[in-house]
Structure 1
């Protein structure tokens, strides 16, 4: 395969946020129960990134996400601060109890000045009950791959805008 053919194949396989995100954060306006999941990045089919992310989230064991405790703790601190201030959401421990899932796909730990910083992608997945006509879907995605703390800040900022909180 030549470089030109390879480049055009990459362009065809490329996806945009609109291909992944199928809804908006405004759907969470009245949703209160959130589950935080952190998993290590896996191989993702670029033609079906949304389906891959949702499948990874539903395959993840919430108790096992503590395996990535450093990344989990950083995000949980930001979310807990929001919970204490606004009382508009609460954390749950099981997928079945969650209205939506805050999913961080940990790609790597980057080292800077001797400290490790979790780096990855953050998604919000609207959880649907088993008897629902609609499948679970991604309603928000961080603008880019970023540090866990920055991704959590971006999510909270977006959630506050949607809910009219200052």
Structure 2
């Protein structure tokens, strides 16, 4: 490894070491048990889903973490997000596919412990056959844009 490469690697190691504190809005640590989560309705998603905010403001440029509780037989039509989205399945199974239209035959079942990472503006969709809970985190602002504007529940 030459000196330039070594310097780049050393710089990356320093940045990664401090990454958790960069941009963090939390002044203290957070510990939350499942019983302490406060579930609310989500107007930007089809009726029936619930959200529990854990960290951050979804409309701000800052780290966020939240959970979604998806009921059985639930669908989120094809949509995308403006920033990267990290999804971890906490319980149950979600079925996720990529594309412009929800197609159950072209999805991957993601069971508890599975992870999906969507790059910004990647069209994807989700459906369930059982209740599932997922945890989503990233850097905001979080948002959702439906591929077909008629699918947006905020417009109904």
* TM-score between both structures, scaled by the size of structure 2: 0.26
Greater Cα radius of gyration, structure 1 or 2: 2
Which one has the bigger strand percentage? Answer: 2
Which one has the bigger helix percentage? Answer: 1
